Structure 1
């Protein structure tokens, strides 16, 4: 029977002797919930973890594309698309895109995530050349004006990833976890880019058509673990990988909430965790906010819940508001401004 170990995370300054650091970050744990596909298996003390599991849960995460994970990091979303669910059409022209990138950097973004193809529910695929034309010029322009911030390219396509890295991106954020394009692994390995592997059930056109799981938390974990192995066989080491449980990608509201409650489990993969919840439909459903632009308060609430479980990277539209929330969280945690 395969066992899974979910650290029960805390960040209280009154840390007991023997508590273990979580991924070298701001959280600690002294107890672990043991799970299996047969059901919960109880709790154990952190000191009783198997040695390999303990190492994966506690080891500091390596810097990735110039980004370190000593504190929660904000990934600013820049959708260069006409049809994204929240802000489609706002930044399709290069001047508007650059203005938004500058604003997010000024507001506290640690990394920018540029995308040229919508992956909202029901979205359809666009040609590689069109996606490159939407994204590469923005990256080139940002680098030309001296922007040193890490840049991620949100794409499923190897050709788009290659063009973006050549333009100055350092991370490939693939919502298909390299399953959509068989050439993606070779490209990422060849250019030595960072990689984010995300779980999705189905593709954007069909993923919300009655998604089903036996145990969503453990099945998503198993999938990401398998994709990390594929990446390693392709020459992409774990130190260059982030993982994303794919909130809203082939999941119901109940699935999303189960994943969010169990996020700390994913530290066992030994990679930084990326959480993308910004303005998503489940926030509107639970928070009673019909329009995506009304979902910033719910986004901040879920972001802080992720921070409380040690999640390192938060992909958001509303950078200034989330940065303010994180500054307050940090001041409260440390007891000083």
Structure 2
């Protein structure tokens, strides 16, 4: 499915956390098995209204993330569908063992909701940057890892995760982003959404970087450079067919993610193409370092995670190919 290069409403931005909360409330009205578990994060997880409507279906364990996941696993084992919600860095960093052993190893339908991931907590510094989570979560067997790119995908992700039979890690963006999902686009594990056509470069992006990839594609198209933009959505399982097709049909690949470059989308794509279809690549993200303290916009600019940064990477990749 291919959309226009830039949707008409791309200048408007939306809050994915609101979409998350609204869809969860809708699901709870339909299914009494839906429960929410949080770590003293009712407000930041946008669960205030959920608590008002379903006070007996929200469990607040306090600032205890290991208990948070353990309780969620217990509820799932008892036949409920728990949405375990907490700030991304603490959910994944403090409770990795429980996610691995209690949820994934036992194959329980625990929906792990990493709120405000990536660089969204910019001014709070490295302790709050959630940039390692994709690397950590992708390494755990039988755990789906999904990164919605806008409110429409966030709603679809919540509904899909509630019906999924195994554990899921969802990233829920904090800062507002444009709508980029074509109407009727599928939300399926291992299936990317192609948003633009192009024969020169493919940009494979997730989450907040998808809209920036589209903006870069618009700039490059004006320069006569055709860019294929893929919203990968799932880091695990990844759409390997779409990646390898892009490696065959375009000159090079660029991955873009609001995460470290050591183990997330870029590493997954690089590992796949290196073994099956070697192709020039650039991996955009945060290098293996502690990102500095600063606003989210400053940090994204600092690491080149902007439309201009993606466009520059494409030009550089093509220039080396023509040497």
TM-score, L = length of structure 2: 0.30
Q: Give TM-score scaled by structure 1 length.
A: 0.29
